[in-house]
Amino acid sequence: MKIHILTLFPDMFAGPFADSIIGRAVDQGLVEIDIYNIRDYTRDKHHVVDDSPYGGGPGMVLKPEPMFEAVEAVKGDGEVPVILLTPQGRLFNQTVAAELAGREEMVLVCGHYEGVDERVRQHLVTDEISIGDYVLSGGEFAAMVVVDAVVRQLPGALGSEESVGDDSHSNGLLEYPQYTRPQSFRGWEVPQILLSGNHAEVERWRRGQSLKRTAERRPDLMERVALSDEDKELMARVEREEI
């Protein structure tokens, strides 16, 4: 996969992309991430990237010319998705991350200040993504969130000891509770079932806890999950504290 990121602040990406899963995926050649400074695509002497809004009002708006020049230069003639990070876009979630993880190449465009000239949205980008209903100062953190969630879904990106399969939101539910050593900590015990060695019972317990947790914390998610008869029975057993 190739990800091109257009930004006015390329240095912001150095740390977050150097380590952990993204750093490893880059080292393994699973993903190539190229960062471009939008300012490098200006043609005027002062490398101006923004200007005041027509009609008046506060702040500065990113000019269209460097945005178009930058996107056209990095993507060439190919059918590459051009995604604008914007609080007005479709909401990013695990399903969108999985969808993007299936692409071979994409361009992420980070806005800043008051945002980008509307003609960028109308005639340059092919998709708009928001990472939540709040306003960030720039699209850089949003692009990092998108890249992290997408890259960890690429086959081979996670170590053998990690898996996206049971992650919250991967199967529509929140993940079950996790425990590690010590078995007893300040008098709080690890559930006995996890020590039993009975894999089938452990799986049932985890599924039951996952259902219970989702129902309690995110009833909105439960409405979209197709519950099997076994799921319903499991939830009843969890309620009765049988498992």
Residues with a catalytic annotation lie at: 87, 114, 152, 167
Handedness of CA 22, 23, 25, 31 (dihedral sign): positive
CB of 145 to ligand SAM, least distance (A): 8
Nearest approach, Cβ of residue 139 and ligand SAM (Å)? 3
Provide the terminal-to-terminal Cα distance of the chain, rounded to the nearest Å: 43
Return the structure tokens found at 12. Answer: 């912001």
Residue number with CB closer to ligand SAM (88 or 183): 88
Please give the backbone phi and psi of residue 129, each rounded to the nearest 5 degrees, phi first: -125, 135
Query: What is the CB neighbour count within 10 angstroms for residue 112?
Result: 21
Q: Which residues 110-169 are close enough to bind ligand SAM by CB under 6 A? A: 110-112, 114-116, 130-132, 134-139, 142
Q: Does 83 bind ligand SAM (CB under 6 A)?
A: no
User: Which CB, 106 or 158, lies closer to ligand SAM?
Assistant: 106
Asked whether position 10 contacts ligand SAM by CB under 6 A, the answer is no
15 binds ligand SAM (CB under 6 A): no
Complex with ligand SAM: residue 116 or 157, whichever CB lies closer = 116
CB of 110 to ligand SAM, least distance (A): 5
Alpha helices of the chain — where are they, by DSSP H? 14-18, 20-27, 64-75, 94-101, 118-123, 140-151, 199-217, 219-222, 229-239
Helix, strand, or coil here: 129? Answer: strand
- The nearest distance, CB 53 to ligand SAM, in angstroms, is 10
* Tally of CB atoms within 10 A around 5: 25
> How many positions of this chain bind ligand SAM (CB under 6 A)?
20
Shortest Cβ contact with ligand SAM: which residue? 111
CA distance 237 to 220: 22
What is the closest distance, in whole angstroms, from the C-beta atom of residue 99 to ligand SAM in the complex? 17
54 touching ligand SAM, by CB under 6 A: no
Closest CA to 151 of 135, 164, 138: 164
Q: For residues 96 and 99, give the distance between their C-alpha atoms in angstroms, rounded to a whole number.
A: 5
Interface positions with ligand SAM (CB under 6 A)? 85-88, 110-112, 114-116, 130-132, 134-139, 142
